[in-house]
Structure 1
């Protein structure tokens, strides 16, 4: 049994003025931003494919997926290549972030449950929030955000099957 004061490591990154986090265990690597190969008829947040060490990896603009304005590329823009466990398979994709900060530990008892925050982000995509330095870090529930049952990448699979 894990005690409440156990720590987990997270990669923190920015989308605009907001700070988000994903578990370090799902982050394969962090790359400089490059334009992706466009995929016809994909959802607006799917920027296309990028070759990552011989594998075609879908690149997602997380800002668009969360209902924010599109990412504007800067020298700080990065792509987090993630291996997300979804049931019996692993979904590999790249998330575009405005800036990647650091790997940081959060105590399990410091991660508050996802609040009902209304329209801006749907709370089922939020694993929890952590108060840090007078602000909040939003821990994203990647499996929920990108599950087949969710609207995220299901439309990509439907378009590919058509």
Structure 2
């Protein structure tokens, strides 16, 4: 039992680091199912821009979202480094797999000093912090750790879709 608890504690402090443009983001490694090379995505009619469509993963349909577009970064075509990270996300009281497209995957790692700074001050500069669990450092460089459940919640997604539709 003690060993299992230690493994769980270690996993919660471990992140998969990815590149989105010039930024480094971290995703909890405990949520990662697998990392895929880019593959054809079947489009969904009238889907929000960030929802690329779905892929087949061993007979299961997996929705794929573009992390760049979710985080208000410009779209970028696939490169040899592009990856689809398939993760487990909590939604509607259950865990479901979803794919997130990233420019590049770096490594599975821990943050320097296992320290994650959070933005406790809500409403700071009129910025919605729900997508960010906190900020840490790896080798002295910033890593923005994403809160997958909140980032991909239907409430945040519908607000993001509405904001994009209003801007158009």
Q: What band does the TM-score fall into relative to the shorter chain? A: 0.7 to 0.9
Give 3-state SS (helix, strand or coil) of 2:155's partner. Answer: coil
Displacement of 1:108 after TM fit? 7.5
Q: Distance in 1 between matches of 2:98 and 2:158?
A: 12
CA deviations over 1:62-107 (Å, ceiling 9, x no partner):
1011110013210000000011123521121100010000100237
Aligned to 2:80: 75
Task: Give 1:127 shift.
Answer: 0.1
Rounded to whole Å, the distance in 2 between the matches of 1:62 and 1:140 is 10
Structure with more contact order per residue of length (Cα contacts < 8 Å, sep ≥ 6): 1
Corresponding residue of 1:125: 131
Residue 36 of structure 1 pairs with residue 76 of structure 2: no
Pick the structure with more helix per residue: 2
- The 8 Å contact of residues 111 and 137 in structure 2, kept in 1 or not, is answered as no
For these two proteins, the number of residue pairs brought into alignment is: 150
Corresponding residue SS for 1:90: strand
Q: 1:61 Cα shift?
A: 0.5
> Secondary structure in 1 aligned to 2:150?
helix
Q: 2:146 aligns with which of 132, 135, 140?
A: 140
Q: How far did residue 131 of structure 1 move?
A: 2.1
Contact 2:85 2:99 in 1 (8 A): yes
| TM-score, normalised relative to structure 1 | 0.82
CA apart distance, 1:23: 0.7
Gaps of 5+ in 1: 156-162
Measured in 2, the distance between the counterparts of 1:108 and 1:86 equals: 31
Separation in structure 1 between the aligned mates of residue 129 and residue 22 of structure 2, nearest angstrom = 19
Unaligned residue ranges in structure 2 (runs of 5+): 162-168
Correspondence for 1:150 among 149, 152, 156:
156
Q: CA deviation at 1:109?
A: 5.2
- CA shift in 2, pair 1:108/1:40, >3 Å: farther
Distance 1:85 1:35, change over 3 A: same
Q: TM-score, normalised by structure 2?
A: 0.79
Q: Within 2, Cα distance between the matches of 1:144 and 1:137?
A: 18
SS of aligned partner of 1:124 = coil
Structure showing the higher strand proportion among its residues: 1
